[in-house]
Amino acid sequence: MPFYQWIPALHNDPNCNSTPDLDSCQGKIGYQFRNPELLAAALKHASGVTHRLASNERMEFLGDAILGLVVCEQLYQQYPEYLEGEMTKIKSIVVSRDTCARVCERIGLQEYLVLGKGMAADPEIPRSVIAAVLESLIAAIHLDGGMAAARDFILRLMAEEIEQAVSGESGSNYKSQLQQFAQREHGVTPAYPLLDEKGPDHSKCFKIAAQVAQQQFAPAWGKSKKESEQRAAHNAINQLNGDPLAYSSDEPMPSGSKS
């Protein structure tokens, strides 16, 4: 028997903001629940219920663990050349409060939160609350459809976030550093010519070099053009600083470090 049926206090607080439209919410998130009560439970913030056991806090605990597992598994499989420290850095970006809140806002999940009237009256919901509801939703999908359903949902939402973290858009952005150098020293914008590509359409690797004015730096391979450009810029920055190349120019799957 679900926990919210056997504890009599587990109901919405009469001072909460509203009852969410679960059909609309399921359309937004792209998942249809067999048991919509799980979705309803995932949307209940502690401020909107009469007992904290009725809130989404337990689901948040479970969802956080599932999110971390799926992201780690994806990094392990998709980036076999990355060391443990590199994967840890990327994972911390992808599962961070800011990333979860941004993804939640992108799908409009915060619109369906059940909040206490005091919190609902605030025009700006705390980022921690928005991030938590994404984690509780992940747990609800796992409880409703199993690990496969949760994994599909996470990867559908987080694939772009993983790619951005890997390419450095959420960390050390070498393209930005190289652009600043090129504009300051030469008054130009770096170019990134594609030198080669290998592999089937669903799993291509791209070899790209960074070029500033007439100087072309050591190229790098990557699993997307965006990743290859970031790696090529990293090589260029290292060459300009007299440091060893970050990525090999000779292998479709570079084994260089990523700092």
For residues 121 and 155, membership in a common domain is answered with yes
pLDDT at 122: 57
Per the model's pLDDT, the better-predicted residue between 203 and 56 turns out to be 56
- CA count, 13 A, side-chain hemisphere, 223: 16
User: Is 50 exceeded by the pLDDT of residue 259?
Assistant: no
Q: What is the mean pLDDT of the chain?
A: 84
CATH number for the domain spanning 212: value is 3.30.160.20
Quote the pLDDT of residue 151: 98
Task: Select the more confidently predicted residue: 235 or 180.
Answer: 235
pLDDT for 141 equals 98
Whether 144 and 62 map to the same domain: the answer is: yes
> How would residue 32 be classed by pLDDT, with cut points 50, 70 and 90?
very high
- What is the mean predicted confidence (pLDDT) over 32-41? 95
* Res 12 pLDDT > 90: no
**Whether residue 57 sits in one domain with residue 80:** yes
Are residues 179 and 162 part of one domain?
A: no
10 has a pLDDT exceeding 80: no
User: What's the angle, vertex CA 256, arms to CA 254 and CA 259, rounded to 5?
Assistant: 130
Range of the domain at 190: 174-240
Is residue 64 a part of any domain in this protein?
A: yes
161 and 41 inside one domain: yes
The number of domains in the chain is 2
Q: Tokens for 233? A: 């810029």
Instruction: Specify whether 88 is located in the same domain as 135.
Output: yes
State the Cα–Cα distance between residues 209 and 229, nearest whole angstrom. Answer: 7
The predicted-structure confidence for 104-153, as pLDDT tens digits, reads as follows: 999 999 889 888 866 555 567 888 889 999 999 999 999 999 999 999 99
pLDDT at 119: 59
pLDDT band at residue 20 using 50, 70 and 90 as cut-offs? confident
Same domain, 140 and 110: yes
177-223 pLDDT, tens digit per residue, is 898 889 888 999 999 999 999 988 888 899 999 999 999 999 999 88
pLDDT of residue 4: 40
Q: 85 in helix, strand or coil? A: helix
pLDDT for residue 201: 84
Query: Of 167, 188, 207, which residue constitutes the final position of a domain?
Result: 167
Q: Which residue has better confidence, 258 or 78? A: 78
- Look-up of token digits 């009725």: 54
Residues 199 and 138 in one domain: no
Mean pLDDT score, 30-41? 95
Asked if 155 contacts 74 with a C-beta cutoff of 8 angstroms, the reply is: yes
In a domain, 245, yes or no: no
Would the pTM of this model clear 0.75, i.e. be above it?
Answer: no
User: Do 100 and 203 fall within a single domain?
Assistant: no
Asked whether residue 188 is domain-assigned, the answer is yes
Asked if residue 120 belongs to a domain, the reply is yes
Which residues are CB-contacts of 148 (< 8 A; sequence separation ≥ 6)? none
Both 112 and 231 in one domain: the answer is: no
pLDDT at 9: 39
pLDDT at 44 over 50: yes
Higher pLDDT, 133 or 89: 133
Helices (H), the chain: 3-6, 22-29, 36-42, 57-78, 84-94, 97-107, 117-120, 127-145, 147-167, 174-185, 225-240
Active site (annotated) includes residue 135: yes
DSSP for 89-140, written as a single string: HHHHHHTSHHHHHHHHHHHTGGGG-B-BHHHHTSSS--HHHHHHHHHHHHHH
Task: Let me know if residue 259 belongs to a domain.
Answer: no
In this structure, is residue 256 part of a structural domain? Answer: no
Cβ within 8 Å of residue 186, ≥6 positions away: 212, 213
Q: What percent of the chain has pLDDT over 90?
A: 51
Catalytic pick from 64, 144, 227, 229?
A: 64
Active site residue 122: no
Structure tokens at 66: 């599932």
> What span, in angstroms and rounded, lies between the C-alpha atoms of 223 and 234?
16
Domain final residue, candidates 143, 167, 191: 167
Domain presence at residue 127: yes
Residue 257, domain member (yes or no)? no
Task: Give the model's pLDDT for residue 15.
Answer: 52
101 and 222 inside one domain: no
Q: Which of 135, 144, 161, 227 is catalytic?
A: 135
162 has a pLDDT exceeding 80: yes
Residue at a domain's end among 167, 190, 205: 167
Cα–Cα distance for residue pair 230/234, rounded to 1 Å: 6
pLDDT of 31 > 70? The answer is: yes
CATH of the domain at 157: 1.10.1520.10
Regarding whether 39 and 135 lie in a shared domain, the answer is: yes
